[in-house]
Amino acid sequence: MPEFDDAFRATLLQLFQWRRDVRHFRTDALPPGLVRQLLDVAALAPSVGLSQPWRFVTVDDPARRAAIRQNFSACNAEALARQDRAALYARLKLAGLDDAPCHLAVFADPDPQQGGGLGRDTMPETTAYSAVLAIHTLWLAARAQGLGLGWVSILDPAVVVAALDVPAGWMFIGYLCLGYPTAAADRPELERLGWETPQPATLLQR
């Protein structure tokens, strides 16, 4: 096992601190092969029973991207109507759908053959948790390459599944925009705009 020294730990902490949910992207294309490289790193994430249930879909077709964009616009309008902080909400650019060069949709196979069902009898939702861990691993790997990643959560999952025509049964986990950020920031955008303030971890002792 390799030894990780104080210098490495300090650099790793910087990576965690500078991971941002990016909304503003440059339109520059990504280097050939980089997305594949990042997905190979994402596949190092832990998964229940070593099932690796994550399924990645690159969305390059303009018509499919347009369907996702339309889905976002409809859901965003509904969210705006429900928000009691609507004025501030309206100022937030909540998607990099127009500018990010790479779009990735992430799904989970809820009953993958790999892993033999280990660890899923009592908590079947762990397949979805495993896919989220893969997204987080991808997020950090992308930041280490100077890229930004934005998770678009204001979407109707059923519409996404239909627009991307994925295999039946796949569970939609998240839609990701990936590219070079227009600017770097050491604090979350929602914090900078006064939407919310980060809090320390909650710890209960029993």
User: pLDDT tens-digit profile of 154-174?
Assistant: 999 999 999 999 999 999 999
Tell me the two tokens of residue 107: 């799904």
| Residue 89 pLDDT > 80 | no
SS3 letters across 118-147: CCCCCCCCHHHHHHHHHHHHHHHHHHHCCC
Q: Check residue 91 and give its pLDDT.
A: 72
Structure confidence at residue 197 as a pLDDT band (50, 70, 90): very high
| Residue 135 pLDDT > 80 | yes
Strand boundaries in the chain, DSSP class E: 54-58, 102-108, 148-152, 171-179
Span 2-30, average pLDDT: 95
Structure confidence at residue 185 as a pLDDT band (50, 70, 90): confident
Q: Check residue 21 and give its pLDDT.
A: 93
Q: Check residue 83 and give its pLDDT.
A: 81
| Residue 94 pLDDT > 80 | no
Tracing tokens 């990645």 back to the chain, one arrives at 56
Span 140-151, average pLDDT: 97
Cα–Cα distance measured from residue 7 to residue 86, given in angstroms and rounded to the nearest whole number: 44
Domain ranges in the chain are 21-182
Fold exhibited by the domain 21-182: NADH Oxidase (3.40.109)
